[in-house]
Structure 1
């Protein structure tokens, strides 16, 4: 089994797609006005309109209502990404900090309030874990 994507439901697809294109540098594939995907080497962030929810499970998802999941991206240099996004990201949760498990992490919220973590493994153990996980 492989996890292939995370889907975020939003009331403003264009705003969220534009945000993620800017922070990741990944161009989205926009299939309809209600659905887009940002594909990376290891997974996909799907962004869908509230209009798609009734198609798969009416009432099952609500936009801008997440306080339990973190959308995480492995980056080459979290400090460089932080510098690049300064002035663009409005809701910074944690400035780049080296965590006890060896990742240097920068956390912020996207325009819908979803928590995003950009991280870089910096200790030998964290680098080894990351290399094993990404192949």
Structure 2
């Protein structure tokens, strides 16, 4: 089994797609006015409008209501990304780059819908080794 994607449901697809394009530097593919994806080497961030859950038979999804998940991106240099994105992230910054006890340097912020996002770089030898094993798998 391979983890494929996380899908965010939003009431404002263009705004959220543009935010993630700016934050990640990755271009999104807009398949329809209701669905876009930002592919990365490991998985995909999918973004759907409020109409997309209905296609799965779920009319009860609520946009901008997440308080239990963190969307995480492994980045080459979290401090450089912080400098590059300082203006974009200023209104929703949760934590400037900080080295966590498990060895990742993390930047935490919220996207326009309030979802918590973590950009991180493994900085300790143990964390770097852990991610090198994952990349080899």
Length-normalised TM-score, structure 1: 0.98
1:27 counterpart SS class: coil
Cα distance between partner residues in 1 of 2:133 and 2:10: 33
Equivalence for 2:75 = 75
**Runs of at least 4 residues off by over 2 Å:** 57-60
Report what 1:121 is aligned to.
122
Gap regions ≥5 residues in structure 2: none
Provide the rounded CA distance (Å) in 2 between the counterparts of 1:45 and 1:80: 22
For residue 29 of structure 1, report the CA deviation from its aligned partner: 0.6
Q: CA deviation at 1:134?
A: 2.1
Q: Distance in 2 between matches of 1:108 and 1:127?
A: 23
Output the CA distance in 2 between the equivalents of 1:126 and 1:58: 39
Following the alignment from structure 2 to structure 1, what is the Cα–Cα distance between the partners of residues 132 and 15? 33
When the two structures are aligned, how many residues end up with a matched partner? 135
Residue 46 of structure 1 and its aligned partner are, at CA, apart by 0.1
2: distance between equivalents of 1:60 and 1:73?
28
- The superposition leaves residues 48-107 of structure 1 with CA deviations (integer Å, 9 ceiling, x where unpaired) of 000111110323421000000000000000000000110111201111000000000000
Other-structure match for 2:131: 130
Is 2:37 the partner of 1:37? yes
In structure 1, distance between residues paired with 2:8 and 2:83: 26
1:110 & 1:11 partners in 2: Cα distance? 13
Question: Structure 1: which 5+ residue stretches go unaligned?
Answer: none
**2:107 matched residue in structure 1:** 106
Aligned match of 1:97: 98
